[in-house]
Chain A
Amino acid sequence: MAVCTGCSLLCDDIEVTIDGRRITKTKNLCRKGFGRYRSLASDRSVRRVDGKQVGIDEAISRAAEMLRDAKRPLLFGWSCSTLEAQRKGIELARRTKAIIDDTSSICQGEIMDMVIREEIPSCTLDDVRNYGDTLIFWGCDPSSSHPRHMSRFSYFPRGEKLQRGHEEDRTAFLIDIRASPTAKILSGNFVQIPPGGDADLIDAMLAVLDGKIPRVRDKKAMISMMNTLKKADMGVVFPGLGLAYSLKGRMDRLKMLVDRLNETTKYNVIPMVGHYNMRGFNQLLFNETGFINRVSFADGVDHGPMYSVVEASKSCDLALVVGSDPISSLPAGIARALAGVPMITLDPHRTLTTELSRVVIPTALSGIEAGGSALRMDGVRIEFDPIMKSEYPSDEEVLSMILEEI
């Protein structure tokens, strides 16, 4: 059995048949995961320093030299690396007095912070499968982002207490701004809201819990939904990127709703983390510094919004990017600032970021060419072995080599 690192479900029931380095057949991988396995043979990055192809030693020395000389380096990415590589990354940040940040800083960071600090209750996906009878998918479209979420854990499978699966034992609601593919499955319980309407919806839900009339168009539907939510034996909220963006800076609203629901019954929250090991990085950095992201080691440990990738891109004098493509994913102005900084990039694939980097070090695809471990979106640690030999070193190996030279 292999593990898929295509998303943060880290499906560990994957069967793969290989012939040398060619994947001839896979079972149980969804289309997204299959795409990751197939990317083995396409668009791999090439090792380069200043545009010239070089040997591994030269690339490592150049990267180490640049990191040594930098006054304010930024180490960014991390959510597509193993826990072992992330640990080396945090050590490298300490040694080079760098700013370190990961992709959670621009997506699920706020909710993940509450989960890791245990300010909001959470549980494992196995608990959801066994006991989660009332679900709220909020601002997410699992059918597209985490294709096997509903079939492996949340809605369709039978669980210890829920022998009849979705047919009778589970109820799921979807709250979103658009009728996504998931809305096709949950059409009877789809609550469509206007963009940015999440806080208003929470107010309406809280109003019903207070016994007041909610200020929404369909009052009956809202009251009936709240009655169902209150009847849950174990409810679970799955907040997605849509909710994270809409409630930015006001995540206490979600917490308030979950706290109120917890006065009557049990409710948990599992953020729909995208990349396969974002939660791993957040947990590791938290264990070491007390913060999940946006940390500077320039003078002890410091934390704050000025150390987010968005701010640090404008103030750093060097960026080490690991397994991420910030030039494509950051807002244009910030990407432009980062593109003006010398970059060292570790990535299995060619991206806009590798194209603009001074040093490019191709690495192995984790789960396929390299082993290690990672934290699933619910914090459960999943270990994996490589399924084939590879000419590429893992992120962990490259970071160890750089550390040795510093």
Chain B
Amino acid sequence: MVSAMEIYQLTPKLNCKKCGLPTCMAFAVALLAREKQIEDCTPLLEPKYEAKLKKLREVMAPVAGATETGLIIHEDRCYGCGNCVVACPVNVANDPKGSAIGLGPKSDKVILIVEDGVVKCLNPKECRRFGPNRILCNLCTATCPSKAIEFV
């Protein structure tokens, strides 16, 4: 997964504040957190930065597929084992008769569910990594045998 440092290397490094942030490094971090768009950096759209812009769009492409919480699913790696479904504390709290006890989810308030053999994310905003009280929960990634879930 791309890092803020790699993104920083692809900015104009002018610290011009046109994006509304004090430094290009801050912009890189905000870009990764999806709080800013590439286009918010207007100098980058100038012809002389064409190569950097192209590269930046490339490295950001996978991140663009992430949900608002930064969760990315690599379907090709997923076994559909449901470990993440059963381990996710939000699933457990919202679905005591289903995922909490190992069964397929019986509630529509769960975040993760397995469909057609691979995991799907239904309610990303419920994730504990999201919102004002966010915490760095990693139970879904820690229980995955194949790194099929990642957070950017």
Contacts and interface: CB of A to CB of B under 8 A. Distances in A.
A392 interface: no
Contacts of A129: 101-102
Nearest to B106: A13
Shortest Cβ-Cβ A-B pairs, 4 listed: A34-B117, A28-B104, A157-B102, A181-B145
Given A34-B80, A147-B79, A181-B79, A27 B104 contact: yes
Interface of A: 13-15, 25-35, 129, 143-144, 147-148, 150-153, 156-159, 165-167, 181-182, 184-185
A13 B145 contact: no
Most chain A CB neighbours (cut-off 10 Å) among B79, B83, B85, B102: B102
B136 to A, nearest CB: 15
- SS class, residues of chain B in contact with chain A: loop
A29 B101 contact: no
A29 B145 contact: no
B118 interface: yes
B102 A185 contact: no
Interface residues of B, number: 29
B45 to A, nearest CB: 42
Given A165-B87, A185-B83, A30 B143 contact: no
30 contacts: A13-B103, A14-B104, A15-B104, A25-B116, A26-B116, A27-B104, A27-B115, A28-B104, A28-B105, A29-B114, A29-B116, A30-B81, A143-B81, A143-B146, A147-B81, A148-B82, A150-B83, A151-B83, A151-B85, A152-B102, A152-B103, A153-B102, A156-B87, A156-B102, A157-B100, A159-B101, A165-B86, A181-B146, A185-B83, A185-B144
Given A27-B114, A147-B79, A151-B102, 17 more contacts: A25-B116, A27-B104, A28-B103, A28-B105, A28-B114, A30-B117, A32-B117, A34-B117, A147-B81, A151-B87, A152-B86, A156-B102, A157-B102, A158-B92, A165-B92, A166-B87, A184-B147
B113 interface: yes
Contacts of A148: 81-82, 102
A167 B87 CA distance: 9
A35 B116 CA distance: 9
B78 interface: yes
- SS class, residues of chain A in contact with chain B: helix
Contact of A152 (B82, B113, B117, B147): B82
B118 A31 contact: yes
A157 B101 contact: yes
Contacts of B116: 25-26, 29, 34
Interface in B131-151: 139, 142-147
Given A29-B114, A181-B79, A143 B103 contact: no
A157 B86 contact: yes
